[in-house]
Amino acid sequence: MSKLDIFKLEWIDLVFAGRNKAYGAYELRKENPKTTSRALLVGSLLFIAVVTLPLIIRFIAGIIPDNSDQFKQTEVVLAAPPPIDKDTPPPPPEPPKPKVDQVRFPPPVVVPAEKVRDEEPPTVEELKKADPGQKTIEGDPNAEIKIEEPAGNAEVTEDNGIRDFASVEVMPEFPGGQSGWGKYLQKNMKYPPIARENNITGRVIVSFVVEKNGDLTDIKVLRGIGGGCDEEAVRVLKAAPSWKPGIQNGRSVRVQYTMPIFFQLAQ
């Protein structure tokens, strides 16, 4: 009796002899060995997958290059444009055109036949050499063109005011554009050790002035995150090469610039 296995199919048939085998209990007992084996196999596979999942993740992370330490610069904070200065003088007027010959070419008017004058209109060849007008005038194409200067002693003063980023025609730009600036930050910026140890991440908002020669001056931190990141952002801006200056009315101007610098640790 110690070797008796009541789960064998012969014992099940013996127990259900003369009974309704279509009842669910018979089918459950009959399929119990297969169900138990299948459940054991599925449970074993799930257990192995859960145990080995961290190892698989570490293995994949070691193959795929980690680019999380790269610095990204994708956002620029722009201030509202300044109000229009009504005292700004208007641009100088355009110079007058050289004087050319003009032939009389009056507009057509409907009149009675008896009032028609025997006057020949200018020919096509004459109109090629002169402009049509109300009367005939001899022009001098070699005449000197004079532009009257404004009254008073008008002096040309150099514009040293600081323009807002959004109010200039041509905005200042790092040599190479946004992609060049990102490469410069990636190559020259160093993550501060204190920030790395304390897991400090975020963005530092800085402002500076792009001078007429492209140099960066008046560098300030508007909003920092600490851990040495603020000082590192100022340092990398001071070490940056000259930018392309902003242009207004065809001249280089000083422009106030605000931008974020991102600090992000590897995951």
The better pLDDT of the pair 11, 200 is held by: 200
pLDDT band at 129 (very low <50, low <70, confident <90, very high): low
CB-CB neighbours of 166 under 10 Å: 13
The better pLDDT of the pair 11, 85 is held by: 85
pTM above 0.85, yes or no: no
Each residue's pLDDT tens digit, 145-164? 555 555 445 455 666 788 87
List, in sequence order, every beta strand (DSSP E) within 116-250.
131-133, 162-164, 202-210, 216-223, 246-248
Of 94-108, 158-172, 225-239, which gets the smallest average pLDDT?
94-108
Instruction: Give the tokens for residue 62.
Output: 């070691």
Which residues, listed in sequence order, are joined to residue 163 by a DSSP beta bridge? 255
The better pLDDT of the pair 161, 254 is held by: 254
| Beta-carbon contacts of residue 180 (< 8 Å; ≥ 6 apart) | 174
φ, ψ dihedrals at 34, nearest 5°: -65, -40
Each residue's pLDDT tens digit, 38-62? 888 989 999 998 888 888 887 787 6
**Rounded Cα gap, residues 15 and 212, in angstroms:** 102
- Asked whether 236 and 181 are in contact (CB, 8 A), the reply is no
| Exposure b/e, 221-242, CB count within 10 A at least 16 = b | beebbebbbbebbbebbeebee
Each residue's pLDDT tens digit, 210-235? 999 999 999 999 999 998 999 999 99
Express the helix, strand and coil content of the chain in percent, nearest 5 each. 30, 15, 50
